[in-house]
């Protein structure tokens, strides 16, 4: 389990005075499995970092949930639309395990960005890294077939396959649970 200072510096190392200032504003909180951090169509500008646990972002349709992201230790969790535009987010984010998180409010971050250029640059790096992750997920979904997406998940995030329900994995890959079982059987 990483400390908030380790997570901050993994995004972009910052000088100790700014690190202390930023880290001091995070609150460590615990939530049980199943807790919703964000609800679809609601505004919530909170930023979280996962100390321990797994989170799943999904969009609920009339027929099903579409999973498009999993977060694990060290990852940030926030609703981009709520955070950036202060408008309702399109996703829900649920915890898949009992989790410990670091939490900070948008307004606290904005105050730091306005008063400390080192923290402002750190915030820019955070968003840049998030954009790259979104781009990688999009490219994977558009250019790889389901079997390749599953192999990619196996190679880059094998622990998710042990910690996340297979129906959520199937949804994330854009396939049915039956298709996922077939792919898993072929790979073994």
The pLDDT of 33-48, averaged and rounded, is 96
Beta strands in the chain (DSSP E): 27-31, 36-38, 47-52, 55-60, 65-71, 76-77, 92-95, 99-104
How far apart are alpha carbons 84 and 93 in whole angstroms? Answer: 17
Predicted confidence (pLDDT) per residue in 43-92, tens digit:
999 999 999 999 999 999 888 889 999 999 999 999 989 988 999 999 99
Q: Hey, how many other C-beta atoms are within 10 angstroms of the C-beta on 125? A: 14
Residue among 54, 58, 57 nearest 72 (CA) = 54
The per-residue pLDDT for 180 is 94
Residue 34 above 90 pLDDT? Answer: yes
b/e 64-98 (16+ beta carbons within 10 angstroms → b): ebebbbbbbbebbbbbeebbeeeeebebbbbbbbe
- Of 32-36, 50-54, 101-105, 155-159, the poorest mean pLDDT is in 155-159
Q: What are the structural domains of the chain? A: 4-106 (2.60.120.10)
User: What confidence score (pLDDT) does residue 61 get?
Assistant: 87
User: Model confidence over 117-141: pLDDT tens digits?
Assistant: 999 999 999 999 999 999 998 999 8
For residue 90, CA distances in Å to 51, 57, 123, 128 come to 25, 10, 22, 20
For the cut 80, the answer to whether the pLDDT of residue 1 exceeds it is no
Burial class (CB in 10 A: 0-12, 13-18, 19+), 51: buried
What's the CA gap between 188 and 183, in Å, rounded? 9
Q: Work out the percent of the chain whose per-residue pLDDT is above 70.
A: 100
């Amino acid at each position: 389990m990483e400390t908030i200072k380790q997570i901050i510096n993994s995004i972009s190392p910052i000088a100790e005075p700014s690190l202390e200032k930023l880290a001091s504003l995070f609150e460590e909180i615990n939530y049980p499995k199943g807790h919703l951090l964000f609800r679809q169509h609601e505004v919530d500008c909170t930023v979280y970092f996962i100390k321990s646990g797994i989170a799943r972002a999904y969009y609920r349709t009339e027929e099903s949930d579409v999973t498009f992201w999993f977060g694990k230790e060290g990852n940030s969790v926030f609703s981009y639309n709520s955070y950036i535009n202060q408008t309702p987010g399109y996703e829900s984010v649920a915890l898949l395990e009992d989790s410990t998180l670091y939490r900070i409010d948008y307004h606290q971050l904005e105050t730091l960005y306005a008063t400390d250029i080192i923290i402002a640059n750190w915030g820019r790096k955070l968003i840049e890294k998030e954009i790259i992750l979104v781009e990688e997920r999009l490219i994977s979904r558009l250019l790889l077939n389901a079997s390749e997406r599953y192999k990619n998940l196996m190679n880059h995030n094998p622990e998710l396959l042990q910690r996340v329900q297979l129906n959520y994995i199937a949804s994330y890959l854009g396939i049915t649970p039956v298709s996922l079982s077939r792919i898993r059987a072929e790979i073994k």
